[in-house]
Every structure is written in C-alpha cells, then in structure tokens.
Amino acid sequence: MNKRHFLRSLIATALLGTAGLSLHAHADALANAEKAGTIRIAVPQDFPPFGTVGPDLKPRGYDIDVANLIGRELKLKVEIIPVSSTNRIPYLTTGKADLVISSLGKNPDREKVIDFSVAYAPFFNGIFGPSDIAIKTAADTAGKTVGVTRGSVEDLEYSKIAPANATIKRFEDNNSTISAYLSGQVQLVATGNVVAAAVNERTKIRRLDTKFLIKNSPCYVGVNKGEAALLAKVNEVVGKLKKSGELNQVSQRWLQAPLPADL
Amino acid sequence: MAYTFDFASVLEYSDALLAGTVKTLALTAVGTVFGLGIGILGAVSRAWKLSPFDRIFAVYVELIRNTPFLVQLFFIFFGLPALGLQLNEWQAAILAMVINLGAYSTEIIRSGIEATPRGQIEAAESLAMTRSQVFRHVVLPPALLKVWPSICSQVVIVMLGSSVCSQIAAEELTFAANFIQSRNFRAFETYFVVTAMYFLLAIAVRQAMVQAGQRLIARRKK
Amino acid sequence: MNDISTWDIVRNLLDGALWTIGLSLTAFVLGGIAGLALLFARIAKNPIPRRLAQGYIEVFQGTPLLMQLFMIFFGSSLLGLEISPWIAAALGLTLFTSAYLGEIWRGCVESVPKGQWEASASLALTHFEQMRHVILPQALRIAIAPTVGFSVQVVKGTAVTSIIGFVELTKTGSMLANATFQPFMVFGCVALGYFALCYPLSAYSRYLERNIHGSRAH
C-alpha cells in the first residue's frame, strides 16, 4: 500500500468510522422514487429559456417542461429542485436529486462522474457581446474580458481555445454572469445561443450579438452512475416524447424553433 | 454504490489552492491596513466629536454594521455600475473589505480612546503639545494597545468573511475550492481541504496580528 | 417577457425576509441552547469537556461560515442523510451561533468577581448551586447586551445561506436582479431590508449596555 493511498484511507476511515455509517448514497434511484411516489429533478432557475423565474419566483422554462413531462410518463410526482450550474452535478452525485435536467452538456470529464441520457434539447455555445466590439474568432478575444459561468460546457470549451491574454472571469451562476455583462463588468460572455436570445428579449441595453459559435453541445439528462434502470427509463421516455411531438412543442414554446431533426 | 473518498484529486490542484491562499491573504492585508486607517480617523472623529465628521462616521458605521457583507458586495459590484461607478471584482472586494473593517474598527478603537484617562491628555496639553501630537503620542498608542485583541479577532472575522468574495468571481481561496470542485466533482473532499486551510490561515493571521501589535504599538509606547 | 412589476419585487422580497427572520430565530434559539451546553462544558472542572468545547469553538470561529455550510450540505448526503438547503442552513447557523454565544457567555461568567465564587463556596454550596444561585444571575445581567448585539451577526449570517440555495432575502434579491435587470434597485432594497431588521437590535443592545454601565456606577 503506497503512502498516499494509506493516508487517504486513514482520513476516510477517521471521517466515517465513528458512527459506523454505511455509505449507500443512492441504491436504486428508480425503485426509491417509485416507492416514494416522487422523483426529484434538479432544474436551472437562472438560465433562460431553459429555466428562469416568473413573478411568483417559481422556475419555468424548457427544462421544467421536460421535467414535468418525464414525471408524467413515469407516473410520479415531480419535485422541482432549483440549482445553479456550479452545483448541479454535486446535487446529483450527493444524492440530493434523482435526475438533472439543467441544460447539461456532455464532455469526457463529466462522463467519468455521471451518466447521460439521449439528448433532449439543442444548444450551441459561443461568444456573445455588444455590437461595437468586432470579434470573429477565439484569437480576437485577446485582451478582452470574458464572463462565463464556472464549470459550464462554455467554460471548459472556451478555456481550451482562449488566447493567453484574454481574461476569463468565472462566476458562480448564470445570474451573476449575465448581471456582470449587463452592468459592464465583462466585455463579452461565453454562453448558449438561445440564452443570448432570451436575454435580448428582456433588455434594451447591451444586447448580446453572436460573435462566433464554439461548439454544438446539446443538452442531456444527467443520471448517477450505476442507475441503469433509471437511465433506460429516461431514454425510453425522451424517445417517446420526441416521437409524439410533445418535445417539439416545448421547443416551439421556449426556443421559438422546431426541434432539429438530427437531435 | 459506496462512496470512496478521493483527496488526491484535490491536491492535484495545489497551484490553484496556493494562488487562492495568496489572494485571500492579500485581500486581508490590504483590508486591514486601510480599514484600520479609516477606523482611526472614524474613532477620533467620534470620540472627540469633530463636527460634521462624527455624524458622517456614525451613519457609516450603522449602515455597514447592520447589513450583510455579501449584500454590500453585490451592491458594489452589480449595483453601482448603474450610477456609472464601475469597479472590477478586486476593486469591489477590497472596497467591501476596507469599509467593513473600517466600520468595526471605528467602534473598537473609539472604545479604547474613550477609556484613556482625561488627565493624561490634560497633562500632555500642559506640555504645549499640539492636538495632533497629543493624539499621536499620548492617546492613540495606549488606546490601540488596549483594544488590539479585539482588532485581531475582527481581522480574522473579516478574513473568514472574505470567502464570499468568490461570488463576484474574485479568485480567492473559496473561489479556488469552487473552481476545483467544478472540475473534479469532488465537492466534499475539496471543501474539507479548503476548510482546513482556512483554519490554519486563521491561526496564522491571528499570530501575525498579535506580533504586529507588539512590534508597532508596544515599542512606540516606551 | 419582462412581466415583473415593482410590486412583485417588493412582495417577493418581503416573502424572502420572512424566511430570513425564521432562519435567524431558529438559529438563535437552537444556537442559544447549544451555546449554554458549551458554556457549561467550557467552565466544567473536568478538563475533558473543557478541551472538547474549546476545540469546537476554535473550529467554528476559525473557519468561514460559507465553508461550514458547504461541508454540511454536501457532506451530509455522503453519510446517507438527505438534507434540504433549509435544514443545512439552520444546522450550519445553529452550530456557528452556539460557538460564538458559548464564548461570549463564558466571558460574562468569568467577569463575575472571584470573590463571589469564594463567598458562595464558604456557604457550602455545590458547584452547581453556586452557578445556579450566585454566578449565573449576575452573569446573565452582563450577558444580555452582547447577546442581543450578537443576534445582529446571526441575521447577517443568514445571507450566506443564499449561496447553498436557501431562498431567503439575499437569494430572492439575486434572482430578482437577474429577472428584472435592475441590480441597483433590487440590492438597494435588500440592504434596506437587512438594515430594518438589524438596526433595532443594534440600538437595543447599545441601550442595554448603557443601562448596565449606568446602574453599575451607583
């Protein structure tokens, strides 16, 4: 046993040994949810049009509609849990939610930690900013201040291609990222095309023009590792919703565009 | 599925942790120096009733001490640009730290000044010292010395409070924690390590403050 | 799509403020009970509870409240416990409050003059009886002002729970700031809300302090 490993297990034992608690964070989420009659779904509340709040501060948007449709198909009551993009994966892995429907993009790092369903929504991320800054490629962002929500796919993708002297400011949640842009704290933002469109609907100052797109990164439902039954069920339901045209209606309602055929 | 702890995945980011620590300490140092400066000015204005500054400081102290640091930070960073005052995340964080420590130390130092016996001041004045000389040599050193333990505690509280500066993207130690857990998805391990780091920092900062107090004030008193 | 009126903002902020008040009261009452236990452990004759209580206080006063909340929130579920942001916030603030109140009260007990202990010991009172009849009644009088003063820190501490997703005044504010794009107005109102909650407590604490010092001068 090497030394570091030993130290690690020692700390772990010390942390847990006392109470003799067994660590079954999530045994079989589907069975548990069916027993409880409720499925807990993490959704965004600060990411229009996927999830934002209405005058009653209740989440609404594309992801919330999808969550409710999935709940209906599973014949379970849906408990909506609003999360930010920083903590949505911890919510899942620490067993605070059964599903994450929170405009979650797929990448290899995340696939090591959680499983993904089939795609349920289109998403192109890119760099957006005011019309008076001329930018066409990632190289043009040199010397610029770019706001992004920490841990989002945009963060990971733009961080890879950003020139060394571009300043990336990573905010806790999308609220802060967008507020920072609108109050002029950052010059540009990396976000999704539909997010920019939704922001533009609500603001007259500092509209977000598309500068360039980085990646086609559709959204998937996130499920914990080892939850094969739940994952299969979710895939089945999403497939069914696509076929029935209901997912297309959600897309029309929130993205004002039909669901892309290749999704 | 049993959860296995993985602390190594936190230590892989030791660069980020170190950078965050440096910035947290820098924020604290700048906040302390300027905060105490404001505190001394505020304390003398309040204690000696220098109109109109005593009133201004009284309002300032009440406003700051009765609202949360996090809200002050949001107001400065997101709100003030509406008035045309654009501060970046570090300027906003430093400003918030300074005005906070300034408000608390105004009250702390004032209590020290008010405890200085009047006789000492009168004695000094009889030596034909000017008012500012009296203040610098006779009033301030014993007042600071008397309240230095409270100041040390307050500096530690402000240092720990600076963890919420991560919310406006200032890349201090808590930001490093959030950054790491958004990359390695090991929330618990990351926060555990960083909490332990804060604990050690708190001890170190308190020690440094106690030392500084002995060097700067106690020696001059002689 | 901007269908949130000024009235909606105020109404939602008032709702959020109710949660802030509820959380503050919960943390203050439970933290006070735990703080009392800490106080007794801290002044016990047996060194073991004394050290344990001291360690507890040092840890909670030596780490950021935000980190404590993160640890409770994300750590508890690893232990198989499911807790909501509300429970995590209440638990975190209770522990935080107890550490500070325990220490404040210890200071008050120790400021009771030594002679009082000696005098009461000479009356053959047990340690517990000394505390109950002689020391605590005097310490209590000294303790009221700093305790009310600390309640301000509890109310302000609740703002940090917004970061783990508990929807109180600050969280309501940042949600509204994003939904309305009026951060100056919204955060200005949020700050006013906290001031309205905290200022009376601060002022009352000062009033109590003056009264104690005043009556002592007789």
Best C56, C58, C63 residue to mutate vs chain B (most B CBs within 10 Å): C63
CATH of A7-123+219-255, one of 3.40.710.10, 3.40.50.720, 3.40.190.10, 3.40.50.150: 3.40.190.10
Give the span between the Cα atoms of A125 and A215, in whole angstroms. Answer: 6
Sort out which chain A residues have CB atoms less than 8 A from B166's CB and list them.
172
Q: Residues of A numbered 127-166 whose beta carbons fall under 8 angstroms of chain C's beta carbons: which are they?
A: none
Instruction: From A26, A175, A25, A172, select the one nearest A87 (Cα to Cα).
Output: A172
Name the residue of chain C whose CA is nearest to B81's CA: C184
Q: Could you report the per-residue pLDDT of B31-65, keeping only the tens digit for each? A: 999 999 999 999 999 998 999 999 999 999 999 99
Q: Where in chain A is the domain with CATH 3.40.190.10?
A: 7-123+219-255, 124-216
> Can you list the residues of chain B whose pLDDT is less than 50?
1, 222
Chain B residues with a Cβ under 8 Å from any Cβ in chain C: 3, 62-63, 65-72, 74-75, 78-83, 156, 160-161, 163-164, 167, 174, 177, 187-188, 191-192, 194-195, 198-199, 202-203
Q: Measured at the alpha carbon of residue A80, what is the angle toward residues C166 and C9, in degrees to the nearest 5?
A: 55
Whether CATH 3.40.190.10 fits A124-216: yes
Collect all residues with Cβ–Cβ distance below 8 Å to B144 and sequence separation of at least 6: B109, B112, B151, B213, B217
Sort out which chain A residues have CB atoms less than 8 A from B19's CB and list them.
none
Is the residue at C1 inside a domain? Answer: no
Domain coverage including residue C71: 6-214
Is the residue at C209 inside a domain? Answer: yes
Name the residue of chain A whose CA is nearest to B86's CA: A185
DSSP B218: I
A204 touches chain C (CB under 8 A): no
pLDDT at A18: 35
Q: In sequence order, which ranges of A162-192 are alpha helices (DSSP H)?
A: 174-182
What CATH topology corresponds to B9-221?
A: MetI-like fold (1.10.3720)
Give the span between the Cα atoms of B60 and B75, in whole angstroms. Answer: 15
pLDDT at C1: 42
Beta-ladder partners of A167: A145
Is the residue at C202 inside a domain? Answer: yes
Collect all residues with Cβ–Cβ distance below 8 Å to A183 and sequence separation of at least 6: B77, B78, B79, B81, B82, B86, C183
Sort out which chain C residues have CB atoms less than 8 A from A95's CB and list them.
77, 82
Amino acid making up residue B60: Y
Amino acid making up residue A105: G
Sort out which chain B residues have CB atoms less than 8 A from C159's CB and list them.
68-71
Name the residue of chain B whose CA is nearest to A88's CA: B182
pLDDT at A194: 87
Task: State whether residue C34 is helix, strand or coil.
Answer: helix
DSSP C1: -
- The CATH number that applies at residue C207 is 1.10.3720.10
Q: What is the DSSP string of A93-140?
A: HTTS-SEEEEEEPP-HHHHHHEEEEEEEE--EEEEEE-TTS---SGGG
Contact across the interface for A55 and C80, Cβ inside 8 Å: no
pTM, entire model: 0.84
Q: What is the largest CA-CA distance in chain C?
A: 78
Under 8 Å between Cβ of C95 and C133: no
Q: What is the DSSP string of A216-240?
A: E--EEEEEETT-HHHHHHHHHHHHH
Sort out which chain B residues have CB atoms less than 8 A from A150's CB and list them.
178-179, 182
How many Å from the N-terminal Cα to the C-terminal Cα in chain A?
A: 48
Give the span between the Cα atoms of C158 and C162, in whole angstroms. Answer: 8
Q: Measured at the alpha carbon of residue B95, what is the angle toward residues B93 and B96, in degrees to the nearest 5?
A: 65
Q: Could you report the per-residue pLDDT of C152-175, keeping only the tens digit for each? A: 999 999 999 999 889 999 999 988
Under 8 Å between Cβ of B139 and B169: no
Unique residue bearing structure tokens 């107090």: B213
Q: Could you report the per-residue pLDDT of A146-204, keeping only the tens digit for each? A: 999 998 889 999 999 999 999 999 998 887 898 889 888 999 999 999 889 888 887 77
Sort out which chain A residues have CB atoms less than 8 A from C13's CB and list them.
none
Per-residue 3-state assignment (H helix, E strand, C coil) for A17-46: HCCCCCCCCCCCHHHHHHHHCEEEEEEECC
Averaged pLDDT, A231-241: 96
Collect all residues with Cβ–Cβ distance below 8 Å to C92 and sequence separation of at least 6: C65, C68, C69, C72, C73, C161
Which chains form contacts with chain A, at 3 or more CB pairs under 8 Å?
Answer: B, C
Domain residue ranges in chain B:
9-221
